């Protein structure tokens, strides 16, 4: 197990207008590799990400100097043959003839049987035997009972990607701790996603900010979250979805020579968890899975972000102004028709329909 646990999550790359900024991404990539880190995480369904990996990484660095993780999402396509075709498409986009880590993407109660129906576990095993895949895993967004069922059925899974952060450690809808313990029970390495909870822990509750600054004014709030995750046993990589060079430099400043949280620092985390236990904020990580297929193109994460300005920080007028800008485009929360596709796709299992109604009533 290496101490170079930081992974470059390439879902939230810097952009110029709507296009990914390859120049900025290349600078971030170079800094990451120069610091001794190697794990790059992308996915078939991250718009433009795999091609950006090719341009910023594959075409500029020796293939042996890094590892690539990408993912197959069965729910993104309607047929088995199209699902299996995703790997070929990913390889072409990436400009490589193999991937180091290949994941069946976002397994949960509402979709995991589709991976069985499409024979995708057999498919990835075959591809591993051919050398196209080096390691098989899956990312997971559900409870410990289902996780154990999958791990029992598929011992070929070498690692599991889980949402783990100090805010969700005991969150009953995310079950970070329970899922972590199941994965370790089966001896699986763990890749951690959302260690900063979609950026929410980069600027936490003001009470938590004070706790952390009183303890060490030189550390960023995000560093506490990432070090909490990286200090757990059995961690292959902790993904950070970095969006600019400054975020990359901050992460490298404390992860290059990684030191787990000490006993006194863990006391701060425990106090933060107590504070978060009373939080009424919406636990959205802005992954945007909910928006794909929304018949009215409602920007659900943006609405929840506006609502959290009010719920988490009491910034009522700022929240209302942010919501007015969204609803002025004609796709505010009141445009929801309750079709439910968003709730089926949500990794956080949020009751999106009722939350949108509350947002409309509170902010509209």
Return the sign of the alpha-carbon dihedral for residues 167, 168, 169, 173: positive
Give the model's pLDDT for residue 2.
63
Query: 145-202, pLDDT tens digit by residue?
Result: 999 999 999 999 999 999 999 999 988 889 999 999 999 999 999 999 999 998 899 9
Whether 298 contacts 331, CB under 8 Å = yes
Q: Which of 86-100, 140-154, 314-328, 350-364 has the lowest mean pLDDT?
A: 314-328
What distance in Å separates the CA atoms of residue 298 and residue 195, rounded to the nearest whole number? Answer: 26
Residue 267: per-residue pLDDT: 92
Cβ partners under 8 Å of residue 49, min gap 6: 10, 11, 13, 20, 42, 43
What is the pairing mode between strands 39-41 and 19-20?
unpaired
State the pLDDT at residue 82. 98
Helix H or strand E encompassing 15: strand 15-16
On the question of pLDDT at 330 being above 70, the answer is: yes
Band of the pLDDT at 5, cuts 50, 70, 90?
very high
Cα 361 to Cα 333: distance, rounded to the nearest angstrom: 9
Q: What is the DSSP string of 310-328?
A: HHHH--HHHHHHHHHHHHT
Yes or no: say if 99 and 63 are a contact pair by the CB < 8 Å rule: no
- The residues near 121 (Cβ < 8 Å, ≥ 6 apart) are 104, 115, 154, 156
Q: Is the pLDDT assigned to residue 219 strictly greater than 90?
A: yes
Whole-structure pTM value: 0.88
Residue range 255-314, pLDDT digits in tens? 999 999 999 999 999 999 999 886 778 989 999 999 988 999 999 999 999 998 888 777
326 closest CA partner among 346, 340, 305: 305
Q: Which residues pair with 238 in a beta bridge?
A: 6, 192
Q: How many other C-beta atoms lie within 10 A of the C-beta of residue 23?
A: 12
CA 313/CA 353 separation, integer angstroms: 23
What's the confidence (pLDDT) of residue 364? 86
pLDDT above 60 for 134:
yes
Provide φ and ψ at 276, rounded to 5°: -70, -20
Give the tens place of pLDDT for each residue, 100-125.
999 999 999 999 999 999 999 999 99
Contacts of 215 (CB under 8 A, 6+ apart): 264, 265, 268
Tell me whether residue 353 is exposed, middle or buried, using C-beta atoms within 10 angstroms of its C-beta: 0 to 12, 13 to 18, 19 or more.
Answer: middle
Write down the pLDDT at residue 310: 86
Question: Is residue 143 a contact partner of residue 182, using CB atoms and an 8 Å limit?
Answer: no
* pLDDT per residue as tens digits for the range 34-74: 999 999 999 999 999 999 999 999 999 999 999 999 999 99
Cβ-based neighbour number of residue 338 at 10 Å: 11
Give Cβ neighbours of residue 117 (< 8 Å, ≥ 6 apart).
Answer: 80
Mean pLDDT of 316-328: 92
């Amino acid at each position: 197990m290496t101490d170079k646990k930081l992974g470059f999550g390439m879902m939230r790359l810097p952009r110029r207008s709507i296009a990914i900024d390859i120049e900025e991404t290349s600078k971030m990539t170079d800094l990451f590799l120069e610091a001794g880190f190697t794990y790059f995480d992308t996915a078939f369904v991250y718009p433009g990400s795999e091609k950006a990996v090719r341009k910023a990484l594959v075409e500029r660095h020796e293939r042996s100097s890094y590892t690539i993780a990408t993912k197959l999402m069965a729910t993104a396509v309607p047929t088995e043959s199209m699902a299996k075709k995703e790997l070929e498409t990913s390889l072409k986009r990436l400009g490589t003839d193999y991937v180091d880590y290949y994941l069946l993407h976002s397994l949960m109660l509402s979709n995991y049987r589709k991976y069985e129906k499409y024979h995708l576990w057999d498919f990835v095993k075959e591809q591993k035997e051919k050398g196209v895949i080096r390691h098989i895993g899956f990312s997971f967004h559900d409870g410990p009972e289902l996780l154990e069922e999958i791990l029992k059925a598929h011992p070929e899974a070498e690692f599991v990607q889980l949402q783990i952060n100090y805010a969700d450690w005991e969150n009953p809808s995310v079950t970070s701790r329970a899922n972590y313990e199941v994965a370790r029970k089966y001896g699986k390495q763990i890749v951690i996603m959302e260690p900063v909870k979609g950026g929410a822990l980069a600027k936490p509750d003001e009470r938590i900010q004070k706790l952390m600054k009183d303890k060490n004014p030189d550390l960023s709030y995000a560093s506490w979250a990432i070090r909490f995750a990286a200090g757990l046993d059995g961690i292959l990589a902790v993904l950070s979805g970095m969006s600019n060079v400054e975020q990359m430099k901050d992460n490298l400043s404390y992860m290059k020579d990684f030191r787990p949280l000490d006993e006194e620092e863990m006391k701060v985390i425990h106090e933060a968890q107590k504070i978060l236990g009373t939080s009424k904020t919406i636990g959205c990580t802005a992954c945007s899975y909910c928006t794909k297929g929304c018949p009215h193109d409602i920007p659900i994460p943006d609405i929840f972000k506006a609502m959290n300005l009010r719920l988490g920080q009491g910034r009522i007028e700022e929240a209302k102004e942010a919501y007015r800008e969204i609803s002025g485009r004609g796709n505010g929360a009141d445009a929801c028709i309750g079709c439910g596709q968003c709730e089926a796709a949500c990794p956080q299992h949020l009751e999106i329909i009722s939350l949108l109604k509350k947002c409309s009533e509170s902010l509209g």
